[in-house]
Chains A and B, each alone.
Chain A
Amino acid sequence: MAEEAILGYLENHEEISDSGEFAAERGIDHAEIVNVVKSLHGFRFVDTQDIKRETWVLTEEGKKYAAEGSPEVQLFLAVPAEGSISKDELQKKLDSGIFKIGCTQAGKNKWVEMGKHISRKVQHVEDKVKDLLLRIQDGKTIDKDDINSLKARKLIVLQTWKGYSVRKGPNYAPKRKKPATDLTRENLQRGDWKELEFKEYNFSAKGPPPECGHLHPLNKVKDRLKDIFRQLNFEEMPTNRYVESSFWNFDALFQPQQHPARDSHDTFFLQVPSTTRQLPEDYVEQVKEVHESGGYGSRGYGYEWKRDEANKNLLRTHTTAISSQMLYALAQHAKVHPFSPKRYFSIDRVFRNEAVDRTHLAEFHQIEGLVCDRGLTLSHLIGILEDFFSRLGMSKLRFKPAYNPYTEPSMEIFSYHEGFGKWVEIGNSGMFRPEMLRPMGFPEDVSVIAWGLSLERPTMILYGIDNIRDLFGHKVDLTLMKRNPLCLIGIR
C-alpha cells in the first residue's frame, strides 16, 4: 500500500517534499514509508534526500501524566475541600510516587498546607502540566520556559526524526515488479506466472548436495563385467562357497601336493572345520593316479599322493576351485547325455594369506571366465581375450608365455596403458591340462580355455584409486565412496 501510494503520487507530482507529512496525510505508519523508500531507492526507482528534524516527545512518565493528570493535581484533589486529612491517610489514597512528587509540587505551588495534617490553601487549581503535555503530544509548540520545566521534570525528551524527500529515480515506473526466486503453486493458481520476472540464478555455484543412496564402485564394475560376460553368452557359476577342500582347490587342478602355493604362507588353512568329509571316491582315485603315475599320455609327477593333504580344508585361493567342480559335473553329465559346450564365469571373493599393503589384501575378488568345447584352440583363447578386454576398453593386448601348474600353454595378458605409457599385466590365462580334464571324464577332443584377473585392479585404474584400502574394507572414506561415477565399460 505504501509503495503504491509513493509511486502513484510521483506519477503526477514532482516530489514528495516530506515523507513524514506524506505518511500523516494518508494515515500510513511512517516507518513503513521509510522501508519502502529505502527499497525503492535500492532499485533506483526513486532518488531521495534525507530530512532530519528534532521534536519533543513525551517520556513514559509524561505519557502517564498526560492521560491521568499531574501528580500535584491528583494530590490536591485527594485533599478534602473543607478541613484536613492526616498525612498517613492521604498517603494511603495515592500511589507512593504520585504522593511524593505531588507533595513537593503542590507545596511549591502553595496549593496545600503541609504538616501532620494536610489542608487546602486554595479551592481551585488548573492542571497546566497535563495541558502542556497534551499539546506536545499533538505536535504543537509551547513556551521555552514550559519546555525547560517539563524537561527538568523528565517528562519530555528531544528526539531526532528522520525522513526523506522523494523524487523519481532513473528506473522509475508507476508499478514495481519484484523479481521472483521461484515458481510457486500460488503463481499457478493466480495465473500471475506470466508477469513474473525471475531474479538471476547463480549458476556458478553448485546445487545443494542430494540426499541419496550409493552403490559401491567395486560392485558397479562387477555389474558391468557380468553384463559383458552375458553379452558373450557366459553363464554365472554358483561361487557362494568360501570353505573349500584342498582337493577341489589344488589336486583336481593337477597341482602337486608339494607346490609352494599349498604352503601355509600363502593359504588360509582351517582349524575348524579342519577336514573335508566327502569327496567323489572314483574321481579321487583317478586324480591320485594321474598325480602319481600319469596317464592320458602323461608321465605324472611321480610322487606319493596323500589323501590327508587333499582333505585339508582351506579358504579358497581362487574361484577355479568352483570351476573344477562345475567341469567335473559337466563331464559326469556328458557320460550319460550328449556333451554340451558351456561357457562359465564368476566374480567372487578369494583369500590369500598375504601381508596387507597398498596393492595387496588378504581378500580380493577374482574374475574368471572359461569355455569348455570341442576343438578349442589357442587362437580361440586369444580371440576371446581380445573380445573381452576390448569391451573393458583395453584393445591393445599382447601375451607372454608363463607357468601355471594347471594350464598349458599358459599366457600372461598384458595391455598397453596409455596413461602409464607402458605395458601392464592385467590377467592370466591358458588351456587346462589334459591331466586335469581327462580324469574328470571328458572325451579327448574336449578342451577348456580360461582366464582370470582381479576385480580390484581395473576398478582402481577406472576410478583413479591408488591405495586398495581406500576402495575395499572398513578403512574406506565414505565421502569418497559416495562420489564415484557410473561405470560405463562395455557401453561405449
Chain B
Amino acid sequence: MPTVNVVRDRLFAALGRTYTQEEFEDLCFSFGIELDDVTTDEAISRKERHEEEKANENEEIIYKIEVPANRYDLLCLEGLAQALRIFNKQDKTPTYTVANISKESMHKMQVKPETSSIRPYIVCAVLRDITFDEASYNSFIDLQDKLHQNICRRRTLVAIGTHDLDTLQGPFTYEALPPQDINFIPLKQVKKYRADELMEFYREHDLKLKKFLHIIENSPVFPVLYDSNRTVLSLPPIINGAHSAITLKTKNVFIECTATDLTKAKIVLNTMVTTFSAYCKRKFEVEPVEVIYSDGKAYVYPDLSSYNMEVPLSYITGSIGVSFKAEEVTSLLNRMQLQAEQSVSGADQCNINVSIPPSRSDVLHPCDVMEDVAIAYGYNNIPKRKLPSLKPLALNQLEDLIRVEVAMNGFTEVLTWILCSYRENFSMLNKKDDGSTAVIVGNPRSSDFEAVRTSLMPGALKIVGHNKDHPKPIKIFEVGDVVHLDESKDVGAANRRLLAALYCGTNSGFELIHSLVDRVMEVMGTPFVPVGDNTGYYIQCSDAPEFLQGRQASIIYKGKCIGIFGIVHPEVLNNFDVPDPCSFLELDIESFL
C-alpha cells in the first residue's frame, strides 16, 4: 500500500481543526486509511545516515499515512484533506468543469506517427491562473512522484511532465526522433546535451533517473515534445527541459502525460487536475487541450465527465445486511464523494443514481458503491449476524487430546465395561461400601453386572489378569466414565470422566506412573508448585486402602484433589489374580474444564 507523507499541522489546518493522535487514528481507521508512523523530516534523514542525535523540539511533525492502492486521489495532502472533509460532512463533493473555450483558442498537441513505435499516447491539460505557495508547490511535485511510483509503474505506463505555459508557444508537437537529433538543456542542468549523451550522463551520475533509462534506451527513436519554437518541453519518460520548468511563481501550468496505456494516462491527468484545480482562480475548472493524431483524429482532454451508475437499493441493503432507507444511502454516499439521488423505477424497485466524479477511478461496479455506503455507515456499526456453526463438546474433545498424549507416552488404550460385580468395586479393592457411592443394579442377569463402576481400577486389573502371558511391562490406559450417586441430580446419579493408567512389570513402575502424572499436568499447562500453593499442582501422601502404604499419593490441582496414584496393594493384586507388581493412576479429567 502506498504511503503519503504529510505535514501534520498543514493537514489539520486543511481539515479545519486539530486532532489528538488517537482521534486522528480513529478517523483514519473508520475511513479505511492508516496512520502508519509519526516522525519528522529530520528524523527520517537521521535514520538514513544512521545517526542518533536528539530530536529538536521545533521539528515539523510528519504523518505517514497508508492509503489504499486504488485510491490515487488520496496520494497527496490536498486529496486526503478533501476526502476527509467530505467524510466529516464539512464540505460537499466539488463539481469539476472543463473551461468552456472555443476550439480555436484551445491549445493543440500534434502527435507525429513515429511516436506509435515507442510511446503512442499523450493527454494534456492546462491549469490556468494557479497560485502556489511553497507547501502546495512541493505537494504538486510529490504527487507526480507518487503517481509515477504507483499507477504509472515507475514511468513505464505513464510519465507526467508539467511546464510553465507562459515560457512556451503553442501549438505543441509530440514526436519521436533519433536521439542524435535531440538537443536541449535538461532540468537541473545548465548546458545542452544531445539525447544519447544525456542518457550516458544519467547512467553515470544520476542514481534516480538511471532507473528509467531502460524504458527507451534501446529504441531507435526517443519520444520528445516541442513547442512551436522547437523548444524541448520534455524527453519522456526521462526528464523535462529546463526552459519550461515550473516555479513558485508559475501562473499557468501545462500538463502532459505520455503513455503506453491510455486509460491510465487519463486517470493520472484527471488526478492531477482535479486535485490542483482547487488552487486555480476559477476553482475546480480546468482548461482543455486538443490532441490531434496524424490520422486526423482529435480528442479534447481532460474528460471530467462523471460516470453514472444506477444501483438498486436492495443490492446495497442486501449486501451489507442493514435495511437502509434511500435517503440514508444517498447521504452516506455523499460523504464518500459520490453524488447520489434516489430514483424510482417502477412500483417496488428503488434505485440509487450515483454520479462518480473523475477523481474516483476506483469505482468500477455497484459493489464499489456498496462498499462506500458500508464505510460511511461504519463497519463497526453493522450488526453481527452469525452463520450456522457447530458447538464443540469440550469434555469429549479434551478426552481425545489427552488420550493421544497418553498413547504418545507409550501406553496402550483399553476399553473396559462400565458394569462390574459388587465385590470388584469394593471388597476386592480393599474398600468398604458406605452405601452412598455406587449405583446398584436391581435385576442383574449375572454377578458381572451388579454395580456401575466407581473406579477404572477393576477393569484395568482384570485386563492384566487375563494377559498373564503378554510380555512385560504392560502399560495400558483408559479414559472412561464412572458413575457416583449424586443427590443434586434429577436421576440421583452423575457421570465423571476419568483417566486411568496402569504399569505392570517385574518391578512396580511407580516412578514411571509418577512421571506420567507430571506429563499430563505439563500438557495441561499446569505448573508444579509447593504444597499448599493453589496456582498449580502438587503431590501429597495419601492413605487409600487399594494402594500400598508409603507408595501412594494424591494429586492436588488448584487446591482440589483430582486423582491418586500409587503401587497397587499386594492383597488387591492377589484378589484380581495378578502375579506381578503394578502401579496405577486415576485422574478426573473433568476437573481441567
B467, A477: Cβ atoms under 8 Å?
A: yes
B441, A362: Cβ atoms under 8 Å?
A: no
Q: Is B411 an interface residue (CB 8 A)?
A: yes
> Given contacts A213-B407, A219-B415, A242-B418, are A475 and B491 in contact (CB under 8 A)?
no
Give the distance to chain B from A221, nearest Cβ to Cβ, in Å: 12
Q: Which of B465-480 contact A (CB under 8 A)?
A: 465-467, 470, 474-477
Interface-lining segment among A86-94, A157-165, A193-201, A273-281: A273-281
Chain B residues with CB below 8 A from A243, complex form: 439, 452, 483, 491-494
Q: How far is the CA of A352 from the CA of B175 in the complex (A)?
A: 97
Chain B residues with CB below 8 A from A204, complex form: none
B414, A238: Cβ atoms under 8 Å?
A: no
Give the distance to chain B from A332, nearest Cβ to Cβ, in Å: 16
Q: How far is the CA of A481 from the CA of B392 in the complex (A)?
A: 29
> Given contacts A213-B409, A269-B442, A362-B445, are A474 and B492 in contact (CB under 8 A)?
no
Q: Is B13 an interface residue (CB 8 A)?
A: no
Q: Is A400 an interface residue (CB 8 A)?
A: no
Q: Is A271 an interface residue (CB 8 A)?
A: yes
Q: How far is the CA of A234 from the CA of B388 in the complex (A)?
A: 11
Q: How far is the CA of A132 from the CA of B414 in the complex (A)?
A: 82
Chain B residues with CB below 8 A from A279, complex form: 490
Give the distance to chain A from B394, nearest Cβ to Cβ, in Å: 9
Interface centre among B395, B416, B448, by most A CB within 10 Å? Answer: B416
Q: How far is the CA of A211 from the CA of B408 in the complex (A)?
A: 10
Interface-lining segment among B216-224, B366-374, B398-406: B398-406
Q: Is A51 an interface residue (CB 8 A)?
A: no
Total A-B residue contacts, Cβ distance less than 8 Å: 158
Give the distance to chain B from A369, nearest Cβ to Cβ, in Å: 13
A313, B407: Cβ atoms under 8 Å?
A: no
A482, B418: Cβ atoms under 8 Å?
A: no
Interface centre among B470, B474, B490, by most A CB within 10 Å? Answer: B490
Q: Is B118 an interface residue (CB 8 A)?
A: no
Q: Is A206 an interface residue (CB 8 A)?
A: no
Chain B residues with CB below 8 A from A475, complex form: 466
Q: Is A45 an interface residue (CB 8 A)?
A: no
B440, A270: Cβ atoms under 8 Å?
A: yes
Interface centre among B406, B438, B463, by most A CB within 10 Å? Answer: B463
> Given contacts A236-B393, A476-B414, are A271 and B440 in contact (CB under 8 A)?
yes
Q: Is A250 an interface residue (CB 8 A)?
A: no
Chain B residues with CB below 8 A from A212, complex form: 407, 410
Checking B404, B442, B475, B483 against A271 with a beta-carbon cut-off of 8 angstroms, the contacting residue is B442
B448, A362: Cβ atoms under 8 Å?
A: yes
> Given contacts A211-B410, A216-B415, A238-B393, are A272 and B440 in contact (CB under 8 A)?
yes
Chain B interface size band reads 35 or more
Q: Is A351 an interface residue (CB 8 A)?
A: yes
> Given contacts A363-B418, A477-B467, A478-B463, are A273 and B413 in contact (CB under 8 A)?
no
Chain B residues with CB below 8 A from A237, complex form: 393
Checking A218, A245, A273, A363 against B419 with a beta-carbon cut-off of 8 angstroms, the contacting residue is A363
Give the distance to chain A from B496, nearest Cβ to Cβ, in Å: 8
Checking A218, A233, A355 against B415 with a beta-carbon cut-off of 8 angstroms, the contacting residue is A218
B408, A213: Cβ atoms under 8 Å?
A: yes
Q: Is B528 an interface residue (CB 8 A)?
A: no
Chain A residues with CB below 8 A from B462, complex form: 474
Q: How far is the CA of A237 from the CA of B391 in the complex (A)?
A: 10
B445, A355: Cβ atoms under 8 Å?
A: yes
A315, B441: Cβ atoms under 8 Å?
A: yes
Q: How far is the CA of A276 from the CA of B409 in the complex (A)?
A: 42
Q: Is B16 an interface residue (CB 8 A)?
A: no
Taken residue by residue from 299 to 343, chain A's Cβ proximity to chain B (1 for < 8 Å, 0 otherwise) reads as 000000000000001010000000000000000000000001000
Q: Is B396 an interface residue (CB 8 A)?
A: yes
Taken residue by residue from 45 to 73, chain A's Cβ proximity to chain B (1 for < 8 Å, 0 otherwise) reads as 00000000000000000000000000000
Give the distance to chain B from A169, nearest Cβ to Cβ, in Å: 47
Q: Is A359 an interface residue (CB 8 A)?
A: no
Q: How far is the CA of A276 from the CA of B490 in the complex (A)?
A: 6
A472, B393: Cβ atoms under 8 Å?
A: no
Taken residue by residue from 451 to 470, chain B's Cβ proximity to chain A (1 for < 8 Å, 0 otherwise) reads as 01000000100110111001
Q: How far is the CA of A212 from the CA of B403 in the complex (A)?
A: 14
A-side interface mostly: loop
Chain B residues with CB below 8 A from A214, complex form: 407, 412-413
Q: How far is the CA of A363 from the CA of B452 in the complex (A)?
A: 12
Give the distance to chain B from A317, nearest Cβ to Cβ, in Å: 13
B490, A223: Cβ atoms under 8 Å?
A: no
Q: Is B506 an interface residue (CB 8 A)?
A: no
Query: Smallest CB-CB separation from A235: which chain B residue?
Result: B390
Chain B residues with CB below 8 A from A276, complex form: 490-492
B443, A481: Cβ atoms under 8 Å?
A: no
Query: Smallest CB-CB separation from B442: which chain A residue?
Result: A271
Q: Is A215 an interface residue (CB 8 A)?
A: yes
Chain A residues with CB below 8 A from B495, complex form: 240-242
Q: Is A479 an interface residue (CB 8 A)?
A: yes
Q: How far is the CA of A475 from the CA of B468 in the complex (A)?
A: 11
Q: Is A120 an interface residue (CB 8 A)?
A: no
Checking A240, A361, A474, A479 against B463 with a beta-carbon cut-off of 8 angstroms, the contacting residue is A474
Give the distance to chain A from B83, nearest Cβ to Cβ, in Å: 42
Checking B400, B417, B467 against A363 with a beta-carbon cut-off of 8 angstroms, the contacting residue is B417
B417, A268: Cβ atoms under 8 Å?
A: no
Chain B residues with CB below 8 A from A274, complex form: 442
B443, A269: Cβ atoms under 8 Å?
A: yes
Q: Is A349 an interface residue (CB 8 A)?
A: yes
Q: How far is the CA of A478 from the CA of B400 in the complex (A)?
A: 21
Chain A residues with CB below 8 A from B494, complex form: 241, 243
Q: Is A467 an interface residue (CB 8 A)?
A: no
Query: Smallest CB-CB separation from A238: which chain B residue?
Result: B393
Q: Is B449 an interface residue (CB 8 A)?
A: yes
Interface centre among A218, A242, A361, A475, by most B CB within 10 Å? Answer: A242
Chain B residues with CB below 8 A from A355, complex form: 445
A273, B475: Cβ atoms under 8 Å?
A: no
Chain B residues with CB below 8 A from A271, complex form: 440-442
Q: How far is the CA of A474 from the CA of B408 in the complex (A)?
A: 22
Q: How far is the CA of A477 from the CA of B409 in the complex (A)?
A: 21
Interface centre among A275, A474, A475, by most B CB within 10 Å? Answer: A474
> Given contacts A245-B491, A276-B490, A476-B463, are A238 and B441 in contact (CB under 8 A)?
no
Q: How far is the CA of A277 from the CA of B493 in the complex (A)?
A: 11
Question: What are 15 A-B interface contacts by the 8 Å CB criterion?
Answer: A211-B410, A213-B411, A214-B413, A219-B415, A240-B495, A242-B481, A243-B492, A270-B442, A277-B490, A277-B492, A353-B449, A474-B416, A474-B417, A476-B466, A478-B470
| Those 9 A-B pairs whose CB atoms lie nearest each other, nearest first | A273-B492, A213-B407, A474-B462, A271-B442, A243-B493, A216-B413, A278-B490, A214-B412, A240-B495
Enumerate chain B interface residues (CB-CB to A < 8 A): 388, 390-393, 395-396, 400, 403-404, 406-419, 435, 438-445, 448-449, 452, 459, 462-463, 465-467, 470, 474-477, 481, 483, 485, 490-495, 497
Q: Could you list 18 further interchain pairs (A-B, Cβ under 8 angstroms) beyond the known A213-B407, A216-B414, A276-B490?
A: A213-B411, A213-B477, A214-B412, A223-B400, A238-B395, A241-B491, A242-B481, A268-B449, A272-B435, A313-B493, A315-B441, A349-B481, A353-B444, A353-B449, A363-B417, A478-B470, A478-B474, A481-B414
